Amino acid sequence: MTPTTVESASSDGPVPTAAGRQVSLSLTRRPARPARHLADLSSAERREAAVSLGQPAFRADQLSRHYFARLVDAAAGESMTDLPDRVREPLVAALLPRLLHPVTTLQCDDGRTRKTAWRTPDGALLESVIMRYPDRATVCVSSQAGCGMGCPFCATGQGGLTRNLSTAEIVDQVVHAARVLRRGEIAGGESRLSNVVFMGMGEPLANYGALTAALRRLIAPAPEGLGLSARGLTVSTVGLVPAMRRLAAEGLPVTLALSLHAPDDELRNELVPVNTRWPVAEVLGAAWEYAERTGRRISIEYALIDGVNDDLARADALAALLAGQLAHVNLIPLNPTGGSSWQASAPAGQRAFLRRLRDRGIATTVRDTRGREIAAACGQLAAEPRRTGPHTSASAGPAATVGDAPTGSRVLR
């Protein structure tokens, strides 16, 4: 893999990796700046912005209500009849600019899983995935365009980092999901967005400021924010220890998922290169501190890779590390990616690993592989440029190629 550079708000220095690569955590190139949007601003800042535009402060609350409560898509020209014609346009242009343009929309599971690839005005590509279940609706969002952490089994990591997303670019993926669910555009009829998982493209804790501001917007009641329950929000991290400690102190009781993938440093150095900076013992220490401070159970993510990390000795070592802690294990059969020949463990191997952990008293589940047919499953989000023509929508049939955008798909709209 070629050297990668992480653009981040962090002031940490370069991270040496097992392969001698440098994963730099410092801001080395000034990224294009996304337009300001009201979701970037606190309520007070929105009012100040309205006043600076020559409007009364309450206009900011009106706009916020349209965006966060009515879920209006102002950039698509949807109605906001309480705003006089002559003020609507400048206010919308200044505070509700279009941040994300849909490039492709793919769906599978009879329309219950939908992936959208987005392009920002400066050309960055990102993806988000809506998953409808009988009892909940989840959106998996990106926190960065690409990722600089270099995990070799992950399609996002294989492509490197483009740039951090802004707070509003993160929030807008969630608002879009809430909007299409409320309007019944996802199969199964009208529903409410209940969960947000930061498991799309990027390392959320490498974009700390935008992430935490986005979390606050998602939790704040309307019209300041979307009014989601903090319990429904999950931040998944590769294990950036200082940021994990900082998040624990934020007073945001969101669930933390830690992508562990190996119980020993030797293998984790290879699978998760930042492990050379923050090894297993340190990263788990920070996770337990998070659990203690927030009272939230840690989700330990473990991708099962055939012949690499799925031996029972590793299940035993993992169980020993987790014994007595507020944690559960989420096993993810590896999803295939173009840049790696690793495969998921065979079903019998998955079952044996699961049984071993459970026998050792560790709460363990196997994650479903939703969205594989449309390359929307964990680690498959790559927003490949070849799929970025004018906006297209397609639905994957049951025989769609795994790990690739389906060819010969049905066009929906």
Binding footprint of ligand SAH on the chain (CB under 6 A): 147, 153-154, 199, 203, 236-238, 259, 301, 303, 332, 334-335, 337, 378-379
Q: Which residue has the tokens 């809430």?
A: 178
Cβ distance to ligand SAH smaller for residue 175 or 303: 303
Q: Which of 203, 270, 310, 373 binds ligand SF4 (CB under 6 A)?
A: 203
Taking CB under 6 A as the binding criterion, the range among 59-67, 88-96, 101-109, 150-158 that sits at the site for ligand SF4 is: 150-158
Whether the Cβ atoms of residue 60 and residue 43 lie closer than 8 Å to each other: yes
**Does residue 378 carry a catalytic annotation?**
yes
Q: From the list ligand SF4, ligand SAH, none, which binds 55 (C-beta under 5 to 8 Å, kind-based)?
A: none
CA distances from residue 162 to 110, 122, 226 in whole angstroms, order as listed: 33, 11, 28
Cβ distance to ligand SF4 smaller for residue 157 or 371: 157
For residue 339, the minimal CB distance to ligand SAH (Å) is 10
Neighbours of 170 (CB within 10 A): 31
State the DSSP H helix or E strand holding residue 347, giving kind and residue range, or none if neither.
helix 347-359
Q: From the list ligand SAH, ligand SF4, none, which binds 301 (C-beta under 5 to 8 Å, kind-based)?
A: ligand SAH
Q: Which of 95, 238, 254, 287 binds ligand SF4 (CB under 6 A)?
A: 238
Could you say which of 7, 127, 203, 373 is catalytic? 127
DSSP string, 247-267: HHTTT---EEEEE---SSHHH
Q: From the list ligand SAH, ligand SF4, none, which binds 167 (C-beta under 5 to 8 Å, kind-based)?
A: none
For residue 46, the minimal CB distance to ligand SF4 (Å) is 32
Whether the Cβ atoms of residue 350 and residue 304 lie closer than 8 Å to each other: yes
Cα–Cα distance, 289 to 248 (Å, whole number): 7
Which alpha helices (H) appear in 96-240, and where do they start and end? Answer: 155-159, 167-182, 208-219
Tell me how many helices (H) and strands (E) the chain has: 11, 17
Please give the residue whose beta carbon sits closest to ligand SAH in the complex. 379
127 scored as a contact of ligand SF4 (CB under 6 A) = no
**Does residue 127 carry a catalytic annotation?**
yes
For residue 86, the minimal CB distance to ligand SAH (Å) is 45
Whether the Cβ atoms of residue 374 and residue 400 lie closer than 8 Å to each other: yes
Whether the Cβ atoms of residue 212 and residue 247 lie closer than 8 Å to each other: yes
Q: Which residues are catalytic?
A: 127, 378
Give the footprint of ligand SF4 on this chain (CB under 6 A): 147, 149, 151, 154, 156-157, 202-203, 238, 259, 379
